[in-house]
Amino acid sequence: NAGVTQTPKFQVLKTGQSMTLQCAQDMNHEYMSWYRQDPGMGLRLIHYSVGAGITDQGEVPNGYNVSRSTTEDFPLRLLSAAPSQTSVYFCASSQLAGGTYEQYFGPGTRLTVT
Amino acid sequence: AQSVTQLGSHVSVSEGALVLLRCNYSSSVPPYLFWYVQYPNQGLQLLLKYTTGATLVKGINGFEAEFKKSETSFHLTKPSAHMSDAAEYFCAVSSNDYKLSFGAGTTVTVRA
């Protein structure tokens, strides 16, 4: 199993550009999430999905869109990039284990918006 | 609503010394608590978790944490630090759904 994969690893955008961060998992997990990590703030939830065709907003959804057409893929779209979206983005998938949901994280995408 | 406070953004320990990372939580329901570790330029890896039952939880790499409901704490310890323990550590809380609330993180430096 490759686990959770993310592409690209690094990306530089200009303000106003759009792009899609890719996330895929091969563990057949129902639940998938996107987080952003900023210094001194930990990880904050952007969007999440409980299954194909179902998505919902997390703590910081503004400026981002998601879709979930298959169990495996959960892309994150930046509609019009802003410098405030400079961050490291992590995708995670979850399974129920030992009474709670255990999250598996991808390696991250480091995004810089100039 | 739930939240996590990690006391101390940076901790420096000598190799072989005790590692103690502090985490306090707030939750309106019985919490599920986690510690994750992040090595440089990598994703997060689960160290240990508390769901129900025994309040002392053992994890990977010699770490353990104790759930203290009366103190709303879930501090992480390791008796003897190793150079490979240098990383950032995150405490997280969940109300048993798939959404985690993370603390701000504590960076551990290990001195030779």
Q: What distance in Å separates the CA atoms of residue B94 and residue B89, rounded to the nearest whole number? A: 17
pLDDT-derived band at B95, boundaries 50, 70, 90: confident
Cβ(B111)–Cβ(B15) below 8 Å: yes
The answer, yes or no, to whether residue B101 has pLDDT greater than 80, is yes
Who has greater pLDDT, A103 or B19?
A: B19
Residues of chain B in Cβ contact (below 8 Å) with chain A: 4, 9, 32, 36, 41-46, 49, 51-52, 90, 94, 96-105
pLDDT tens digit sequence for A64-100: 999 999 999 999 999 999 999 999 999 999 988 777 7
Please choose, from the candidates B89, B65, B77, B104, the residue with its C-alpha nearest in 3D space to the C-alpha of residue B17.
Answer: B77
Report pLDDT for A17. Answer: 97
| Chain A residues inside the 8 Å CB shell of B104 | 40-42
Report pLDDT for B2. Answer: 83
pLDDT tens digit sequence for A19-49: 999 999 999 999 999 999 998 888 999 999 9
Report pLDDT for B96. Answer: 66
pLDDT tens digit sequence for A15-26: 999 999 999 999
